[in-house]
Structure 1
Amino acid sequence: NSVSEYTKLQKEISSKRQSLYTLVESGSGNLTKTAIDKINAIRAEMSALEIKKDKAYKRLKIAKDAYADKIRSIKREELGQFDGRFVPELAIPAGTRYLANIILECKSYFGGPIEMNVWRGVAAYNCGLGRTKEWNGLPYIRETVLYTRDILYNLTRMLELKYAYSTGDSDLIAKTKRKMGV
């Protein structure tokens, strides 16, 4: 199945990347030929896995698009028979509740105010709470780092816009929208 193939490849790449970081960070600053050879071998394996992952992602996207087309063509009463992840009316409230619960769990586990745990919660939403706890915060997994950055960037933009509108100041609203390119 496309999802399990893609997920498996992502895990393999993350594992290789972690091996690479561990190898690089364990050195004393003087890399031996053996260490350089290991680094190059891991990088070559990662490159091959990235190519496979890209192909798997294309297959996954085709399957997802076909599934989404199928869902769009059915009647509202029949939606309950399908995977709710592709039904916005079901997925958005469920995802929001899940994110809120994860943020609260991060607050409980890591301590500190809610605001300091939002980024951990977003990371956990993407890669799993266990992994976020294991890494003691933001896991250095490329997809998770980029996902967390993008979500928080967009959240910050929306909060800035919300604030501008809450003031009722048309100049501030216009300035904020210009800054955002909206």
Structure 2
Amino acid sequence: MYDTAAAIDEYTETANRSDRPAYVFSPWSNNRMYNYVVSGEARSYGYARANYESFLASTNETTWYERLRGRAGFVVYPTLDAPSGSIAERLEAYGSRTANASGLAHYRAIHVSPDGEYTAFTLVPGATVVGNATANTTLDLAATVEVSGTEFTYERRVAVDANGTYRVTVPYAATYEIGNRTVTVEDAAVEDGETVSA
């Protein structure tokens, strides 16, 4: 846990995050430790105690991102038995889609502990990839990502509307394959919420 906290602290020093909160949203039992290491603000764990378990169990990523983005800069996920389709299940997959739910758009893994027990995420606006394809179909989007020496595939399924257009927001700077195309998303696009054409 301490190494995860130290990795978040290092990230805050190397990334341009002056306009974003440093609060770490984590299990309440160690919330004060995380926030003491990262920001020195560790007076209370009340918000985590009241909300963290509900966050993990929820299936609604968008609602929780809107609630958290002005308050929390980071989320720590400890490996656990995640309910089917929950945010927790998708955090366990580093934000990727699962068999039970679509992928997460705003949670980017920044640290994975060596034993895989703890993963730290930062909240980002995400880059929105837009493009054209056959109307009323679906496309698979995928990219290979490496965090702390752990390599994984971030995947999404994308719906193409009746006009033949699609849009999907992604949290990682990477080169994505979508349908028969590739598109490279830069870190600045993820951090600034930019649109990228495929």
Greater strand percent: which structure? 2
Q: Which has the higher contact order (CA 8 A, sep 6+)?
A: 2
TM-score bracket for the superposition, by shorter chain length: under 0.3
| TM-score normalized with structure 2 length | 0.21
| TM-score normalized with structure 1 length | 0.22
Which entry has the higher C-alpha Rg, 1 or 2?
Answer: 1
